Chain A
Amino acid sequence: MRFFEFEAREVIKRAGIPVTEYGFTTDPAEARTIAERIGGPTVIKSQVLTGGRMKAGGVKFADTPEEAESHARDILALEIGGHMPRGVLVDPKAEVEQEYYAGVVWDGTRKQPVMIFSPVGGIDIEQVAEEQPEAVGRRHFSNILPFSEFQAKEVIASTGVTGSALNKLVPILTRLARLFVENDMVLAEINPLGRLADGSFVALDAHMDIENEARGRNAKLLKDLGVGDEETRQAREATEFELAGEAVDGMSHRGVAGNVTEFDGNLGLVIGAGGGSLTLFDAVRAHGGKPANYCEIGGNPDVAKTAGLAKLVLQKPGVDKIAVMMSIVSNTRVDIVARGVIKACLDLGFDPAEKIAIFRIPGAWEEEGFKILEHYGVEYADRSVSLNEAARRAVEKIQGVAA
């Protein structure tokens, strides 16, 4: 889960890394008060979880508190890339001598975190790596041994930085590496890290991304930052349909019938499991089908939960039929999914034979499942029909409906 800049700055501040005397607010009048307190030129920055805010007009410079207030008002009303800002950050306009880059990310191949440093900051680190590879230092560090300062020193020194800058940067990078590990980050980046006229360093912007799976054990940090449990902060905000999907999945702890993502087609999908759903979604599209949604069933959800998911999809405006398809199941039971989707049709007053374009789930308890489907006249297929062929048949049926 990504943090807003104001949260990321708070995280690095807590770790003992110097930050500017910024303020966060959702109120233009308060932006003025903060600018007054700062007492000089300020930068007003939109707090959105999307790139390109500078280009979009989400970052503005103010010479006076009045100007800060007026910029804050504009920025708070400015949508950027489909996101409304959470607030604005009012930041002193620092007199920076040089901008640096400091970051820690995971290397999934080496299976260790890697520290990245560059004396060329303020721009995308990938661009620096491409254009001036000698200006980027990298070093992997152990998951088991405690991070030691010399490791930061080596990375910094490898880029040619020496003198007092080197000595001042070492504790900053060390703290960044430690906060990355301690707070289960998947990205911790300070860019730019500014060197001021007096030689001191200060973080001017920060990006942090915390591992979703570790939110529980970082509950205190998230609470302190005011991050709600319900905030998922995906690349786009969850739709009502998707939130309803989450509610269905939350009906019981047993199994998964969720990960619902909305699309605008007419073929509802009740599909699984992880890999099967990806394969099936591709297959439906390859045959010219228009999915109404993506979802995943797995881990043997009960009849009620499966029915809940199927009902949600069946009731989605524009959905004519549903296709119930999974890769061969081993612990999810075919008969339970069959009962669930038939119950959903019956509860809504639909004929299962009409509404279910195809049921293709082979595997555990398939004989029992197929018997039920036969009873209701639903077209079903066993493992001799490929995922691709099942998707083709479903698309064919729904296109017959459309025509």
Chain B
Amino acid sequence: MSILVDADTTFIVQGITGREAVNLTRECLDYGAGAKIVGGVTPGRKGRDVHGVPVFDTVAQAVEHHGAPIKGSVVTVPPAFTKDAMFEAIENGVELIVIVTERIPRGDVAQMVELATMRGARIIGPNCLGIIVPDVIKMGGIGGPAKDAAKSYSPGPVGVISRSGGMTTEMSSTLTAAGLGQSTAVSIGGDAIIGSSYAELMPLFDADEQTQAIVIYTEPGGRMEAQLAEYVHDSGSKLPIVAFMAGRFMDEMPGMSFGHAGTIVEGKEDTATEKIARLAEAGITVAERIEDIPGLVREKLGVAV
């Protein structure tokens, strides 16, 4: 199985007529079994279509046209309009929202997350590339065009969670080359506040029969790794985890921002050194190099795989 999405997941694309969204729609339609994109929304563009996907002015129209609840939405509208688009999706019954948009003020993100929590919905992102279940479905730009995504991702036992979209693919490609496929790979976004952190996705992977190990990509800034360490400790999760920490050089440069909006060393807890220690204490192996990850995963899995 997989987490979050499967072959039957229906979704819409909000902001579908934008350049990147048009590409993303094509990629998702082409990948795996072909995503069930049941509509797109761009205000004022009702009646058009994007690669055969009908465009509507409102999410409500898309739901009405589909004639049943829609599970997900990929939001790719400009930052100033993202909160409204996400609220619209939630209030029309959408349960899973992938926010691609970058540079959204965290006050807006926090409002979106709080509303999602109130409605029992989930946000992935913002500033992320989405979710992929190898050979089945991708929801978002993750892995790029279908033929490129097919080179990097293959089905298998490893769940991948990454703060960097590109590194989700880099790590998965390394696993694939070593014969270790992925159950689901999730690009969770690099902002200071995001909809779903490692610890918040772990229960889903824990409950997934296919997933036997987790690989995470992480960076300095924030305390998401400490939260993951606490989760592992408190839940007694059985899934072995291998982590890769980038941006170790940043420990020498507090107050400077690199990479992603949330990647900044503001206090001692934010440093790569401190995070590596936290992860190690929780029994999480921290790989020195990406190419070491498959070996470490195999070691943790024993000879089973």
Residue numbers of A with Cβ under 8 A of B are 106, 108-109, 111-113, 142-144, 181, 184, 186, 211-214, 216-217, 234-236, 259, 261, 272-279, 281-283, 285, 294, 296, 298, 326-331, 362-364, 383-384, 386-389
- For the complex with contacts A275-B167, A331-B141, 19 further pairs of A-B residues with Cβ separation under 8 Å are A108-B223, A111-B193, A144-B115, A214-B105, A261-B258, A275-B163, A275-B190, A276-B167, A277-B259, A278-B259, A279-B167, A279-B170, A279-B244, A328-B152, A330-B149, A330-B165, A362-B173, A383-B173, A388-B289
A181, A216, A327: the one contacting B170 at CB < 8 Å is A327
B10-34 interface bits toward A, Cβ cutoff 8 Å, 1 = contact, 0 = none = 0000000000100100000000000
**B190 near A184: Cβ-Cβ < 8 Å:** no
**B219 near A278: Cβ-Cβ < 8 Å:** yes
B115, B148, B253, B263: the one contacting A235 at CB < 8 Å is B253
Verify if B169 is at the interface (C-beta below 8 Å from A): yes
B114, B163, B249: the one contacting A285 at CB < 8 Å is B249
Verify if B210 is at the interface (C-beta below 8 Å from A): no
B114, B249, B253, B261: the one contacting A143 at CB < 8 Å is B114
Interface-centre pick from A112, A326, A327 (highest chain B CB count, 10 A): A327
Nearest residue, chain B, Cβ from A326: B166
| Separation of A362 and B164 alpha carbons in the complex (Å) | 16
Verify if B104 is at the interface (C-beta below 8 Å from A): yes
Nearest residue, chain A, Cβ from B223: A109
Q: How far is the CB of A69 from chain B (nearest CB, A)?
A: 33
| Separation of A328 and B193 alpha carbons in the complex (Å) | 25
The interface residues of chain B lying within 8 Å CB-to-CB of A111 are 109-110, 113-114, 193
The interface residues of chain B lying within 8 Å CB-to-CB of A331 are 20, 23, 141, 144
Verify if B107 is at the interface (C-beta below 8 Å from A): yes
**A278 near B247: Cβ-Cβ < 8 Å:** yes
B163-207 interface bits toward A, Cβ cutoff 8 Å, 1 = contact, 0 = none = 111110110011001000000000000101100010000000000
The interface residues of chain B lying within 8 Å CB-to-CB of A259 are 258
A186, A213, A234, A277: the one contacting B256 at CB < 8 Å is A234
**B164 near A275: Cβ-Cβ < 8 Å:** yes
**A143 near B107: Cβ-Cβ < 8 Å:** yes
Q: How far is the CB of A167 from chain B (nearest CB, A)?
A: 29
Q: If A327-B167, A329-B144, A330-B145 touch, does A275 touch B177 (CB 8 Å cutoff)?
A: no
Verify if B79 is at the interface (C-beta below 8 Å from A): yes
Q: How far is the CB of B238 from chain A (nearest CB, A)?
A: 24
**B170 near A276: Cβ-Cβ < 8 Å:** yes
**A330 near B129: Cβ-Cβ < 8 Å:** yes
| Residues from 240 to 279 in B contacting A, C-beta threshold 8 Å | 244, 246-250, 253-263
Q: If A144-B115, A235-B256 touch, does A328 touch B173 (CB 8 Å cutoff)?
A: yes
Looking at chain A's contact residues, is the secondary structure mostly helix, strand, loop, or mixed? Answer: mixed
Q: How far is the CB of A292 from chain B (nearest CB, A)?
A: 14
| Separation of A139 and B169 alpha carbons in the complex (Å) | 39
The interface residues of chain A lying within 8 Å CB-to-CB of B115 are 144
| Residues from 95 to 138 in B contacting A, C-beta threshold 8 Å | 103-107, 109-111, 113-115, 118, 129
Nearest residue, chain B, Cβ from A187: B266
Interface-centre pick from A235, A272, A277, A330 (highest chain B CB count, 10 A): A330
**B259 near A112: Cβ-Cβ < 8 Å:** no
The interface residues of chain A lying within 8 Å CB-to-CB of B142 are 330
**B217 near A235: Cβ-Cβ < 8 Å:** no
Q: How far is the CB of B80 from chain A (nearest CB, A)?
A: 7
Interface-centre pick from A144, A363, A384, A387 (highest chain B CB count, 10 A): A363
Nearest residue, chain A, Cβ from B129: A330
Mind listing 9 A-B residue pairs with CB under 8 Å? A111-B110, A144-B111, A213-B105, A216-B80, A279-B290, A283-B289, A330-B145, A330-B148, A331-B20
**A108 near B258: Cβ-Cβ < 8 Å:** no
Verify if B291 is at the interface (C-beta below 8 Å from A): yes
**A327 near B224: Cβ-Cβ < 8 Å:** no
| Separation of A21 and B219 alpha carbons in the complex (Å) | 44
Verify if B39 is at the interface (C-beta below 8 Å from A): no
The interface residues of chain A lying within 8 Å CB-to-CB of B72 are none
Nearest residue, chain A, Cβ from B221: A108
A181, A213, A235, A277: the one contacting B79 at CB < 8 Å is A213
Q: How far is the CB of B118 from chain A (nearest CB, A)?
A: 8
A211, A329, A384: the one contacting B177 at CB < 8 Å is A384
Verify if B65 is at the interface (C-beta below 8 Å from A): no
A281, A383, A388: the one contacting B249 at CB < 8 Å is A281
Nearest residue, chain A, Cβ from B292: A388
Nearest residue, chain A, Cβ from B257: A234
Q: For the complex of A and B, list the 7 residue pairs with the smallest distance between their C-beta atoms, beginning with the closest.
A: A275-B164, A330-B144, A235-B255, A275-B167, A214-B105, A278-B247, A278-B246
| Separation of A111 and B114 alpha carbons in the complex (Å) | 8
Verify if B222 is at the interface (C-beta below 8 Å from A): yes
Nearest residue, chain A, Cβ from B226: A109
The interface residues of chain B lying within 8 Å CB-to-CB of A274 are 164-166, 190, 259-260, 263
The interface residues of chain A lying within 8 Å CB-to-CB of B157 are none
**A144 near B258: Cβ-Cβ < 8 Å:** no
**A275 near B219: Cβ-Cβ < 8 Å:** yes
Nearest residue, chain B, Cβ from A298: B166
**A143 near B111: Cβ-Cβ < 8 Å:** yes
**A383 near B290: Cβ-Cβ < 8 Å:** no
Q: If A278-B247, A278-B263 touch, does A112 touch B110 (CB 8 Å cutoff)?
A: yes
| Separation of A234 and B254 alpha carbons in the complex (Å) | 10
The interface residues of chain B lying within 8 Å CB-to-CB of A328 are 152, 166, 169-170, 173
